Structure formats: structure tokens, C-alpha cells
């Protein structure tokens, strides 16, 4: 019975479909605690699926749809590199007791390459381990205090970022008051909130929304750099950071390879009392490539991981990894994991709706990827990548029909086949 498949054990009844808003304390904490709780639809034999009563089959198909819409975040060679750099930096900074500026990390890459999800997953794993280490208690809590313990804060950079709006976005994460405050008060309130909540990591997403030709944005970047003196690991996430202008005042330290950046002034709203330079590690979350044997193998292994998550009834082993499918999928997505996920999700919807129940090149040819209406993304900041054009519609070959006219054949009994004729070969 499908009732066995839809109970609380598989996460179906507890699934609400409403994503947690990570830019608030409550939303981040909910997402962190529940991020791995969704359980995909169980695998069923096609015969059992076809024999289900209509209502049970409909419910199971809804669970399959939810499964394809919630494909898990898979590790890639690029994401592992980012994870190593981020985890090492967060841990080292978290254990520092000196009142020195903590080095930060910039995570760059193209649009739809999974930067936000990757960084959030890494930061959430760090918070899990940090909470366990401190038994869920703020190690810097003041006796008698009742502040929430918030090791990680996630904030989206405002589309029109200014120093005040950036401070308010951070304070809104904590639910702190911002009304009738001037900029110095807002800055000190940010510092107080980060300290009182025991925050070790501050993530500022979509940082390339800052436009360096605007004075307000330059002031905002100076303010963000000053946040590094608040004893937190500052993680800036953005599209193509090297080309954005954010590093125009930076230089590379030849000894460490880090980006060294100096503020235009030694004091930012009274927050930074020294001339301490701000250092960032710049790491890139790149796309898959398809040039060398190792790169092709990594792409095929990723497709195998995606294929394992799909619940299509006519799917065969190697549906995404054999024949020309890996090359086709790379041509459609250029190795961008977000575009691949979108193509696979829409393809599964089409395969279920048409009864095809498998992904083929012919089916995917009809899936158009259109990101023009993407909500919450700023095209001017490069957050929406160029989508490769679908391949030209291939003409299906029609097998030639045998002719019904009978052709008269010439009698060859008395033909001379020469010295290499059939008689010689037969007697050889």
C-alpha cells in the first residue's frame, strides 16, 4: 500500500515545500537543522507502479516530482577545493584569541554554479561542529545574558547597497532594532550583535552587486572590510569577483598568494583604530570542463550521481552516462551545475507528463532553458549566465521502404569467372 510509502519515515508528510529564509536567525537555524531531512521517493518496480490504484499512484508521482525538484547538492572536484579553503579558514579564525584582524575569504565563480549553496552547506557543517564542541552554548556568553547563540550569519547584499542599508541587512538577520539610527550607531550595533550572539562567520552573498563607480558602493566596501576587525571570518560571495572592480585596490602577497586590500582611510566610522591591512583568500567555484580524460571522467561521475537520484520508471542504467549523453548534456549546459539541474528537473517533468519515463536527447531537445525571469537575481551583476542555445532540431531518418516492383535477374550460370572464380576456390 502507498500508505507505507507516505508515512513520516520517508519525510513526505513532514515536507512543506516552503523553503526556509536563511537571511534571518530563525530561518537560518531552521534550514541548518533540516537541510538533510528530505527523503526522496522510494524506488519501485515499474510493474508495482503500474498496478497501483489511481490515488496511490498520483501521490507517489507527486513524491517523485518533489524528489526531482530537490536534487541533493553533490560534491564536485571544484566544491571540494572550496570546502578545504573555507573550512580551514573558519576553524583557524574561530580559535584565535588575539585581538587581530581575521583573514577573510572571497568565493567567486559564474552564475548558477552553486556558490551560495556550497558556501552555506560548508558554513552549516562548521556551525554543527562548533556547536557540538561548545555543547550548544555560547562560549563568550555574559552571565545572566539571554542572547541567542548564532555562530554563522548569512546576509544578502542589498541590490542598491549603501553603508546604512548594508548595516540594516545584517541587523535584520539578528532581528535587532534599526529605527532612527544614524550610520555610526548602526555600525556599533552590528559590532555588538556579532559579539553578543557569538558569531564566528559572517557571509555576505551577492557582493558583486556593489558598483565601484558609485561613491556609496565604495564606502560600503570600506565598511565591509572594516567588519573584519569584529573578530569574525568574513566570507564574500559573488560572480566573477576579479572582473567586478572589488579588487581594484588589492594586490597579491607573493609569499602567501592572498589578496591584500587596504581601506582608503585608517578609520571607518570610528571602527578601525589601526592601519591593519585586510587579507582575503580568493577561491573559485568553477564549472566542469570537457577537455581532458580526467575532466570528462569527473563530469561522467557527476552525471552518475545525478542519475542515482532520479525516479523514472523506464530509466536504464547509464541513461545519463553512456553513449553520447555526457557530451550532449555538456553541450546544453557548458558544465554549469545549476543549468544541468534545471535541465534534468524540467526533463523529468516532461518525461513523466508524456509517459516516456526516461531522459533522451530527443526529449531534452524540446526543453528550453529560460532564466530571464529568475527571482532574486541581478542580471547586471552577472548572476544570470548565458544559456547555450539548444541544438538544431535533428531530422529523424525514415527507413527506406523496400520496392514492391520485381526486378528480373540475369542468368549467370554460363558466366566465366576467370582464374579466381568460384570453381578454383572450391577446389583449393
Residue ranges of the domains in the chain?
Answer: 1-18+35-70, 77-284
Residue 307's pLDDT is what?
Answer: 97
CATH number for domain 77-284, candidates 3.40.50.300, 3.40.710.10, 3.20.20.190, 3.40.50.800: 3.40.50.300
Quickly tell me which residue has 568565493 as its cell. Answer: 107
The CA distance from 1 to 271, in Å, is 64
Query: What does the alpha-carbon distance between residue 133 and residue 118 come to, in Å, rounded to a whole number?
Result: 23
Q: Compute the C-alpha angle 290/293/298, nearest 5°.
A: 65
Contact 187, 269 (CB under 8 A): yes
d(CA 152, CA 382): 26
- The 3 state secondary structure assigned to 188-221 is HHHHHHHHHCCCCEEEEECHHHCCCCCHHHHHHH
Give every CB contact of residue 148 below 8 A, 6+ residues apart in sequence: 25, 197
- Cα distance between residue 232 and residue 38, in whole Å: 31
* Model pLDDT, residue 67: 96
> Does the global pTM surpass 0.85?
no
Q: Are 397 and 341 in contact (CB under 8 A)?
A: no
Q: What does the pLDDT read at residue 316? A: 92
Determine how β-strand 278-284 pairs with β-strand 259-261: antiparallel
List, edge to edge, every strand of the sheet that includes 250-252: 152-156, 201-205, 233-239, 104-109, 278-284, 259-261, 250-252
Distance CA 397, CA 410 (A): 33
160 alpha carbon, distance to own chain's centre: 24
**Count of CB atoms within 10 A of residue 410's CB?**
5
Low-confidence stretches of the chain (pLDDT beneath 50) = 1-14, 264-269, 271-276, 394-428
Amino acid at each position: 500500500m502507498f500508505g507505507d510509502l507516505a508515512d513520516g519515515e520517508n519525510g513526505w508528510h513532514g515536507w512543506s515545500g516552503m523553503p526556509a529564509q536563511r537571511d534571518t536567525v530563525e530561518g537560518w537555524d531552521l534550514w541548518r537543522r533540516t537541510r538533510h531531512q528530505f527523503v526522496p521517493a522510494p524506488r519501485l518496480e515499474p510493474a508495482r507502479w503500474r498496478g497501483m490504484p489511481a490515488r496511490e499512484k498520483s501521490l507517489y508521482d507527486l513524491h517523485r516530482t518533489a524528489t526531482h525538484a530537490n536534487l541533493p547538492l553533490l560534491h564536485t572536484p571544484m566544491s571540494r577545493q572550496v570546502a578545504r579553503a573555507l573550512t580551514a579558514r573558519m576553524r583557524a579564525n574561530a580559535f584565535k584569541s588575539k585581538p587581530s584582524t581575521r583573514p577573510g575569504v572571497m568565493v567567486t565563480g559564474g552564475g548558477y554554479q552553486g556558490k551560495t549553496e556550497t558556501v552555506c552547506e560548508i558554513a552549516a557543517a562548521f556551525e554543527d561542529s562548533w556547536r557540538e564542541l561548545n555543547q550548544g552554548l555560547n562560549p563568550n556568553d555574559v552571565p545572566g545574558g539571554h542572547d541567542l547563540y548564532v555562530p554563522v550569519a548569512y546576509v544578502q547584499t542589498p541590490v542598491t547597497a549603501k553603508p546604512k542599508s548594508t548595516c540594516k541587512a545584517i541587523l535584520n538577520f539578528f532581528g535587532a532594532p534599526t529605527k532612527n539610527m544614524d550610520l555610526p550607531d548602526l555600525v556599533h550595533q552590528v559590532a555588538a550583535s556579532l559579539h553578543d550572539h557569538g558569531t564566528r562567520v559572517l557571509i555576505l552573498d551577492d557582493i558583486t552587486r556593489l558598483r565601484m563607480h558609485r561613491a556609496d558602493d565604495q564606502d560600503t566596501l570600506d565598511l565591509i572590510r572594516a567588519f573584519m576587525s569584529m573578530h569574525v571570518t568574513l566570507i564574500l560571495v559573488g560572480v566573477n569577483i576579479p572582473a567586478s572592480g572589488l579588487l581594484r585596490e588589492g594586490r597579491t602577497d607573493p609569499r602567501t598568494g592572498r589578496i591584500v586590500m587596504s581601506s582608503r582611510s585608517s578609520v571607518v566610522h570610528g571602527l578601525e583604530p589601526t592601519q591593519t591591512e585586510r587579507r582575503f583568500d580568493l577561491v573559485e567555484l568553477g564549472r566542469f570542463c570537457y577537455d581532458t580524460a580526467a575532466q570528462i571522467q569527473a563530469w561522467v561521475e557527476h552525471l552518475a550521481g545525478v542519475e542515482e537520484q532520479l525516479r523514472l520508471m523506464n530509466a536504464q542504467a547509464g541513461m545519463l552516462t553512456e553513449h553520447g549523453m555526457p557530451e550532449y548534456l555538456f553541450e546544453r549546459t557548458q558544465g554549469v551545475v545549476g543549468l544541468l539541474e534545471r535541465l534534468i528537473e524540467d526533463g523529468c517533468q516532461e518525461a513523466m507528463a508524456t509517459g516516456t519515463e526516461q531522459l533522451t536527447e530527443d526529449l531534452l531537445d524540446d526543453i528550453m532553458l529560460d532564466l530571464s525571469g529568475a527571482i532574486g537575481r541581478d542580471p547586471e551583476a552577472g548572476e544570470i549566465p548565458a544559456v547555450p542555445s539548444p541544438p538544431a532540431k535533428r531530422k529523424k531518418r525514415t527507413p527506406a521502404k523496400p520496392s514492391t516492383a520485381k526486378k528480373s535477374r540475369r542468368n549467370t550460370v554460363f558466366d566465366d569467372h576467370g582464374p579466381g572464380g568460384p570453381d578454383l576456390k572450391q577446389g583449393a
